[in-house]
Amino acid sequence: MPASMSAAPMRCRTPLPSLGLGTWKAPPGQVGAAVRVALQKGYKLIDCAEAYDNQDEVGLALEQAFQDGVAAREDVTIVSKVFNHNHGSRAEASLRKTCEDLRVGVDLWLMHWPIRFENEQIPSPARGPTGWPNPSIEASFEYNETWKEMERLYNEGKCGGIGVCNFTVPQLKDLLANCTVRPLVNQVEAHPFFVDAELHAFCASEGIQIMAYSPLGSADSYSGKLVGAILLQDDEVNAVAKEAGISAAQALLCWGMRDGACVLAKSVREDRIEENLRSQDIKLDASLLARLTKLDRGYRFGLGWMKGHFWDDEAWSAGEKNAP
């Protein structure tokens, strides 16, 4: 039976587990099995989003796993996100639909982007061949109004905690100046090619835990394809991994966890799901971590949704020429 919004989400507390299963780009027909395997192996956090278009399959896997005793519901943190087209007054219906799809309460509910789409239906395709958004999308920076709605739903017990994704330092400062409930986390892209030390330091100073997505890079992302940047194949990453006697993926995940972040690793392969989990028990020497940090290029794999957020005007304008 699908869960209603009052189906008792767990009250979320930080720090979150150091590793979670990501479900972004997890293929239909495979993501449910991956969730079950992850729970069997001992994962304690599953990261979802309405924009991933797979929450129903994830929810069925969660429901069956909890019913079968594969994992205890109280031991697993369920994370989801409200997407740009459901900002403001649309947020409550979005949360309700997410809970119905996932068949459980949402323990940690995040604002996916500090950006609002006026479009109630997202144009298709949402992105062009090189990743820049469809020009028919009407977007604007907006987050305080939506955060107030998230605060209300949190205070009514309809989710266990609230946080944000993809917020910059200025946006976090503005949100903190206007909120009554502080965000528990900021989920952002983080890996040795994109260290973003200023953001991480600010979040640490404000007690906001980092959740790191794309910790292994994202070679199939739009910008990754454009420049051919494949983090897992980087010579220094592999040299560090060889010296430590671990895989390149484990080296990158250990780096991501170094300062208390919750790192999200996506895979639908059982061997990689298990390999990633073992990274929690590996402690890389400080000198090896420092070598990975030195790979910083300020390079994002993600493009974002608006000019002036992640990319400067010149780069954004060039990319828009390839939009649908």
Question: Annotated catalytic sites, by residue?
Answer: 52
Tokens standing for residue 79: 């994370």
Is 314 strand, coil or helix? helix
- How many other β-carbons are positioned within 10 Å of the β-carbon of residue 247? 19
CA-CA distances (angstroms) from residue 110 to 8, 143, 150, 160, 225?
17, 11, 9, 11, 28
* 255 contacts 205 by C-beta, under 8 angstroms: no
Instruction: Tell me: is residue 112 an annotated ligand-binding position.
Output: yes
Type of residue numbered 62: L
CA-based nearest residue to 248, from 208, 288, 287, 286: 288
- DSSP lists the bridge partners of residue 162 as 109
Query: Hey, what are 247's tokens?
Result: 């895989």
Angle separating helix axes 286-293 and 248-257, nearest 10 degrees = 90
Angular region, 69: left φ>0, alpha ψ -120 to 50, beta rest: left
Instruction: Report angle CA 5, 9, 15 to the nearest 5 degrees.
Output: 140
| Residues forming beta bridges with residue 22, ordered by sequence position | 47
- Residue numbering of the annotated binding site for substrate: 112
| Binding-site residue ranges | 112
